[in-house]
Amino acid sequence: RRISGTVDVNAKVAGTVESPTVQGTVQLHKGSLHDYRHGIDLTDIEGTLEGTQAELRITQLTAHAATGTIAVTGTIGVLQGGWPVDLRITARNAQPFSSSIVSGNVNADLTLTGSALRELTLVGDVLVNRATVEIPNDFPPNVAVLDVRRPGQVVNPTTGGPVVKLKVTVDAPRQILVRGRGLDAELGGRIQIDGTAQVPRI
């Protein structure tokens, strides 16, 4: 992963330890995010965040994803218990990820609400304008990692961040193109994703 950009901070924290407040602005210019493993490539990231009392308000946060854009607005309660989150995420003709196997162009209208430290809920619609799946002739070798549990062993619960509940509808009327290994097909459909990010129900 690689992140770059310029951040200008003009802010102050006041009040008391028990009841702090934050005021000021944070501006992000010419940012980029590249995650080569997952095929994520966001460029021209521009944003303005304002501190108001105990929360951080995202007045503008946009990024280019290939020929389209992704935008985020909302608030994060950075000085409130549990870090309450209320964000709106929109995408227009965006290609949020691209790999040698899968690439897609989507529109999206999503909301993310809840507590960043406990439980979040992602709700909304995703329209797949076009997607391509290239089935490779062979896959690179990998090593399977087995989760071995011995009789009587106590398994400690994992703490990997908040639970993310899902209520997302993915609509792909057509133009999901699947090619390779003798296939040349066009698919379409509509699916509802519920459950959680850890255990989704499709």
Distance CA 107, CA 124 (A): 11
Give the model confidence (pLDDT) of 97-128 as tens digits.
788 788 889 999 999 999 998 999 999 999 99
What is the pTM (predicted TM-score) of this model? 0.80
CA distance 87 to 84: 10
Lowest mean pLDDT among 60-64, 136-140, 170-174: 136-140
Strands (E), the chain: 2-15, 20-35, 40-52, 55-65, 68-76, 84-94, 102-115, 119-134, 163-180, 183-195, 200-201
Q: What are phi and psi of 13, to 5 degrees?
A: -110, 130
The secondary structure of 56-78 as a DSSP string is EEEEEEEEEETTEEEEEEEEE-T
23-81 residue pLDDT tens:
899 999 999 999 887 788 999 999 999 988 778 899 999 999 988 999 999 999 888 88
For 181-200, the DSSP string reads: TTEEEEEEEEEEEEEBSSSE
Residue 143 CA to residue 153 CA, distance in Å, equals 25
Distance CA 122, CA 201 (A): 14
Question: What one-letter code names the amino acid at 41?
Answer: D
Closest CA to 108 of 98, 122, 121: 122
Q: Residue 168, CB half-sphere, CA atoms under 13 Å: how many?
A: 23
Q: Which residues contact 78 (CB under 8 A, 6 or more apart)?
A: 22, 54, 55, 56
> β-pairing, 102-115 with 55-65?
unpaired
pLDDT (tens digit, 9 = 90+) per residue, 181-199? 889 999 999 999 999 988 9
